Every structure is written in structure tokens, then in C-alpha cells.
Amino acid sequence: MFEATTILGYKGDGIAVIGGDGQVTFGNTVLKGNATKIRTLYNGKILAGFAGSTADAFNLFDMFENILENKKGDLLKSVIEFSKEWRKDRYLRRLEAMMIVLNTKNIFILSGNGDVVEPEDGQIAAIGSGGNFALSAARALNKHADLDAKSLVKESLKIAAELCIYTNDNIKLLSLEE
């Protein structure tokens, strides 16, 4: 995991939400507290967020966006093609970043090794140094609290911010609905 951020994606019935904190660190120093690490892709139909090196993540976003365009926004086909390209390219294999990509039908983690992972529950994914905290909180809140998708993501990220020194509570959210 990266000592960089926390990104949490949630896919519910007809809704997809991604959230991320705003902290950028360099070693043990906070460089910025209001960064945006999430964005929409393919004309607002795909949500994505990154953890890791910012420069590497922007390269990955650009590459993934090109693949999405070529695959006409088909997320499943795009992540498979992305993984193939990542594994073939020596430069890409050295990038230090991970991504979560999702829409209302699918959610995937794209690892720094070119792996494509669909969460076991098919619903919640988290990356970054606070990812496990946010994932645990989201699973508990999803099971035991009556929260809408946006509130679930936001509250889970707030919990991660309380526990992870590389995560702050300057949370940004994006969502899609069918």
C-alpha cells in the first residue's frame, strides 16, 4: 500500500460513489491538504480515483481514458485491455500508483502490477494507506447503519482520516446514478 491517500469506491443498487481525501505527503511532511484524487471519465460515465505517485497516476488516467474511448466506455473490456497494456510495457510496470474505477454495474481495483481485482463483495473497494480503515468502516456501516451511498463513503473516509496519518478529512465525492 502507498503512504499517500485514501480512496474508497462503493457500488450500490443503481448508484456508484467514489471519494478521496485531499492530503498529499512527501515523506513525513504534508505538502497539500486539498488535492483532488478522483475524477469522472468517459463523459461522466465512469468514476476513478488514484493512490500513489501523482505523476504516475496522471499517466495511468490518460492511458485508461484512451482505452475507454477505444472500447466505447465498456468498463469490463477496458480494464482487461488496460491490464494487458500495463503488463506489456516496461515503463508502466515501474509506475507507483493504483486506481479504483467503477460505474453503476462494475467496480475494479487496478494494481501497480497490472492486476485487475474485482472486490469479493462486488460492492466496496479501497486503496491507499488508509484504505483498509475505510474498507472496514464501509463494510460495517453498510451492514449495520441506514446510510445512503454518499454518506456511507463520506463517513468511512472520515473514520480512516482519524486513524491514518497520511489521510485527512478534506473529503471529495463524485457519484453516478442510473
- Active-site residues, by number, are 5
Q: Which of 175, 133, 118, 132 is nearest to 151 (CA)?
A: 175
Angle in degrees, 0-180, between the axes of helices 149-163 and 131-144, rounded to the nearest 10: 140
SS3 helix, strand, coil % of the chain, rounded to 5? 35, 30, 35
Residue 12 C-beta-side C-alpha neighbours within 13 Å: 17
